[in-house]
Homo-oligomer: A and B are copies of this chain.
Amino acid sequence: MSQDGVGVDLETSLGYLLKEASSALRAAMEEVLRPLGMSVTHYSCLELLAQRPGLSNSELARGAFVTRQSMNVLLQALEREGFVTRPAEAPVGKVLPTRLTPRGRRSLEKASAAVRSVEVRMLAGMTEPEQASAFRILQSMIRSLRDGDDRA
């Protein structure tokens, strides 16, 4: 059934391979983050805030690929533990811009280095042109998947 063009051959499916790669990456990240007492979503949140200070809960959620409800749970914990701060009142509208505290920044430093080492390992054995090619290809996939999302 799945050999004759209609189905999806797992052995040759780029979609399956993509999931496999993503899963391997996540596992590798979890492994290096666990000793630091940090989950992948936890790290993602801090990294996003370091690079784009003042992001709102909803924006962080999109950036970390979770729902805003989930991100809110995480943010409350991070706030309680003193890694991030949010104003008590929204400066404008309902949006609460979040920022890293010095403690959050310190905590992120080690994690960021650890994750960076994972990414370096992932890229080991790939030439510069191959990496550039990978970049273009993945972007193409994302664009194609999103384009067909609404229309069609």
Q: Mark A124-142, 1 if CB is under 8 A from B, else 0.
A: 1110001101110111111
Residues of A within 8 A of B (CB): 1-2, 6-10, 12-15, 17-29, 31, 47-48, 50-51, 63, 65, 105, 108-109, 112-113, 115-116, 118-119, 121-126, 130-131, 133-135, 137-146, 148-149
Q: How many identical chains are in the complex?
A: 2
Q: Is the CB of A144 within 8 A of B119?
A: no
- Specify which of A115, A125, A134 lies most central, judged by the most chain B CB atoms within 10 Å of its CB: A134
Contact B65 A8 (CB under 8 A): no
Q: Please, which residues of chain B bring their CB within 8 A of the CB of A131?
A: 14
Closest B residue to A12 by CB, please name it: B135
Q: How far is the CA of A141 from the CA of B26 in the complex (A)?
A: 12
Main secondary structure of the interface of A (DSSP, over half): helix
Q: Of B9, B18, B133, which contacts A25 at CB under 8 A?
A: B18
A24-B137 Cα distance, complex, nearest whole Å: 14
Chain B residues, Cβ within 8 Å of A63: 10
A122 proximity list for chain B (CB < 8 A): 14-15, 141, 144-145
Shortest Cβ distance from A80 into chain B, in angstroms? 24
Extra contacts, 16 of them, besides A17-B142, A124-B144 (Cβ < 8 A), are: A1-B108, A9-B51, A15-B115, A19-B26, A20-B142, A21-B141, A23-B65, A24-B141, A24-B142, A27-B149, A28-B148, A31-B149, A125-B143, A130-B140, A133-B137, A134-B137
